[in-house]
Structure 1
């Protein structure tokens, strides 16, 4: 069995994700809800990973894209739009917002870029609070349950629907990473100066990465809304953005498995803290986890699953998106 996984490195992540998708179907209830939430957050994790893991750009605007997707999906479905169409439009709106944000901030250096996007999160939260009946204001708004072709989706059906969306999204991103855009992202990550010397338009490549990140994070928010059935301006909280960044750092930069493991960490760790009565430490958890990951696991949790034993020594085996 070990030889099979060694010869086909993509097989282990595939089996892991399939178990994550299929195992909860036999239990239902709260376990199914948590695992569905993990799959939804994996989309946001992967979108953030494309931007940060491939271009070294750190954006704190993830909460904005997530919130735009959630509110867009909720508002559109409340006006009778089919769920699939509402999700795609909401994610597309998040993409447009991401591109409009990227145009001015990409001129900034890395640290200042993070600060500028942080300010955008704060402004967006205030705009949603002032939305009145359109967004529900500070009180938030209810969200219609998920339906498909006129039939209401139960918890098991919606779980499979989310899994299908995630599968298509990851397949698309995998192809993107192997395209000229993906190779361009890697060139920027290695050295932006060298990438320019090779004739690459680094600004355009960064815009594409920002747009893909916004689309995936917006798609995540659009699926989140019908799952929880209620949304409020807290979706635009800076802690949401921090949780997305912590996902990719703790899980592993530039890795599909890292995105999944990061989502499991962000969803599962707070649940454990609450279970043991330490829920007040949830805010500090992400910071501590990122520090520990950078100190002891610079390649994230995914590196633990990619170690191969060679002549008695552990050697990390890296695999891209």
Structure 2
């Protein structure tokens, strides 16, 4: 199973068992250790994942962090865990601060199994930053989050690259925070920049107030317009299913992911019970990935709506009607084998 699918499966586990994850140990065994395993660390090898890692710091003896991750025999990442119900704050990271300075680790991780906060020393060498440079929310993440998280895989782990990237991510988050403030309440400096481009004459207080109100309204309108366009595109796709089976003309904006390939192989294996496998073809589109019989977009067997890692669906068909069924990943497709086989029989009978 690929990295994306492992994380998606872990998300499904979180949502299934969230209500009973009451203790720190429950968060560790149910979420944190599988998360580290998804990153490629052998959680059963104490030379690679050191539990209850001890490092005496000054007069403090016998203090421990939950795990130390080793790459190339060196302690590289320190991990401190809390219960899944804990709201993570900097006060939970006191041991990480002390251990960070006393070991060769350049990265530390504070987590409750749901949220994973990654820290480094981008502000001052050998001193852990007070703010994380990257936060991954297992319950709500985007494809860009998965790409950033992939850098922490053992096979990809390069501490110098991670620390360098940390500075970029931290700067991006700071810029985003400032933009959010400007969008919510444009500052006088921002108003002056815009007004200077549009207004001739003195920038009096009444003029500034007018532009500030106009900028706030314009930003709100832009956001609403973007949301409206997405909704309209989504409704258009639902209303006109057949034409949207065709791939984009340029062919460059479509990426067939490993998760979609895995799903296609499962669908083909199921349908191979009644038709030869070479008749079952994958055809990717912008919003979903179609599986067709005889490479005919009017003979759709199923659609994989896997573009969102947080809400995946398998589209099964009866006639021209599509029913979207939630799945956590490709393996769940096996649960819908009867619907897929019924669709093949329907297409073969010409109904």
TM-score category of the 2 structures, normalised to the smaller one: under 0.3
> If each structure's strand is expressed as a fraction of its own residues, which one has the higher value?
2
Structure having the higher Rg: 2
> If each structure's helix is expressed as a fraction of its own residues, which one has the higher value?
1
